[in-house]
Amino acid sequence: MSDQAPLILGIESTCDETGVALVRGTTLLTDVTATSMDEYARYGGIIPEIASRAHLESFLPTLRAALERAEVALEDIDAIACAAGPGLIGSLTVGAAAAKALALALDVPLYGVNHILGHIAVDELVHGELPRPSVGLVVSGGHSSLLLIRDLARDVVELGSTLDDAAGEAFDKVGRLLGLPYPGGPHIDRLAQRGDPSAIAFPRGLSRPQDRERYPYDFSFSGLKTAVARYVERHGVPDDGQDGPSTADIAASFSEAVNDSLTQRAIRACLDHDCDTLVIGGGFSANSRLRELAEQRAAQHGIQVRIPPIRYCTDNGAMIAALGSVLARARVPASDLSFACDSSMPLTQAALSA
């Protein structure tokens, strides 16, 4: 390795995106993503077998494009990071097999890293190194987790998570109820922006005093989703011009309930753990109401909110390279090349061990 920070190649393949990126220190050189998402609209969800095959087809062209754009040769790479979990096991295995082959051929260390923590690490490429400690909120189609990050490389505590649906998953399911295309999250967000968030009093999960005490940092969205389903059963999906709450009002009231729970607990975690930085990542952090409410509530307590631009919130190679860079700079030993991907890799583990 040269005396400047090591050049890290990051490979992401947990779900439907094949991402390849190059990072040096906290500087992103390039980030290229191919996605098989378009294939799933007609199924209403991701088909793992199609995703795995798409990774296989996309990997080499994506790698070539990344190297070309950054004007980097394979030999310049100092270390590789690939997502090792959590995620779809077939998709993960394709990316990890490619990463292992490259690491062997180039004789460089390989980190099998945690995808969820990558959603936090990517923020360093935009806003610089993360203050310690910070609170992290990772919200996506598969996860809603609240983390205490004392050291991203070595010391992360999971404070809470969703007891049932993830925030994005709840949006996608309610999207289906309202007859919106898959994935419903962005459609509900757009609709909600012209609705009244107080039109319908949807319930907040885990808000009874005994639940708040037992689950101070956890989330639950299944009761809320059922409440929306009941509402739609009773009233139907309103047409424009119909009296009473509109579809936009349903979307806004539902969105408000989800984002109220997320931000209320995230701010609670910051106050309880003396953290003045809240970093938010994951595909759901594209949500406009989450961004607004988090900023508003954090400002009342002098907490700084860091959210990367939307293109770094969805799955991408930069997040994996960024976490690889954190690990390499912290001199964490690389993973053993014989590692197996772990579809439920714990959040306390930034990388699979040596």
Stretch binding ligand KG4 (CB under 6 A), from 62-70, 165-173, 204-212, 215-223: 165-173
Please report whether residue 315 would count as binding Zn ion according to CB under 5 A.
yes
Q: Which does 284 bind (CB under 5 to 8 A by kind): ligand KG4, Zn ion, none?
A: ligand KG4
Residue written as token pair 């490619």? 98
66/98 Cα distance (integer angstroms): 15
Taking CB under 6 A as the criterion, the residue among 118, 141, 317, 324 binding ligand KG4 is: 141
Please report whether residue 13 would count as binding ligand KG4 according to CB under 6 A.
no
Q: How far is the CB of 175 from ligand KG4 (least distance, A)?
A: 7
| The one-letter amino acid at 206 | L
CB-nearer residue toward ligand KG4: 221 or 284: 284
Q: How far is the CB of 137 from ligand KG4 (least distance, A)?
A: 13
CB-nearer residue toward Zn ion: 220 or 316: 316
Residue 286, Cβ neighbours under 10 Å: how many?
A: 20
How many Cα atoms sit within 13 Å of 339 on the Cβ side? 30
Site for ligand KG4 in 229-288 (CB under 6 A): 282-284, 286-287
Please report whether residue 256 would count as binding Zn ion according to CB under 5 A.
no
User: Among candidates 340, 353, 352, which has minimal Cα distance to 96?
Assistant: 340
User: Among candidates 86, 75, 78, which has minimal Cα distance to 110?
Assistant: 78
Stretch binding Zn ion (CB under 5 A), from 104-112, 129-137, 202-210, 309-317: 309-317
Q: How far is the CB of 289 from ligand KG4 (least distance, A)?
A: 8
Cα dihedral sign, 274-262-289-125:
positive
Please report whether residue 315 would count as binding ligand KG4 according to CB under 6 A.
yes
Taking CB under 5 A as the criterion, the residue among 134, 140, 144, 246 binding Zn ion is: 140
> Hey, what are 36's tokens?
């098989």
Q: How far is the CB of 42 from ligand KG4 (least distance, A)?
A: 17
Q: How far is the CB of 183 from Zn ion (least distance, A)?
A: 13
Q: How far is the CB of 290 from ligand KG4 (least distance, A)?
A: 7
Q: How far is the CB of 23 from ligand KG4 (least distance, A)?
A: 19
Please report whether residue 171 would count as binding ligand KG4 according to CB under 6 A.
yes
> Hey, what are 338's tokens?
């014989």
Question: What are 39-46's contacts with CB under 8 Å, separation 24+?
Answer: 40/16, 40/182, 41/181, 41/182, 43/182, 44/176, 44/182, 45/182, 46/15, 46/16, 46/88
- Could you write out the DSSP letters of every residue in 245-290? S-HHHHHHHHHHHHHHHHHHHHHHHHHHTT--EEEEESGGGG-HHH
**Count of residues that interact with ligand KG4, criterion CB under 6 A:** 19
List residues binding Zn ion (CB under 5 A). 140, 315
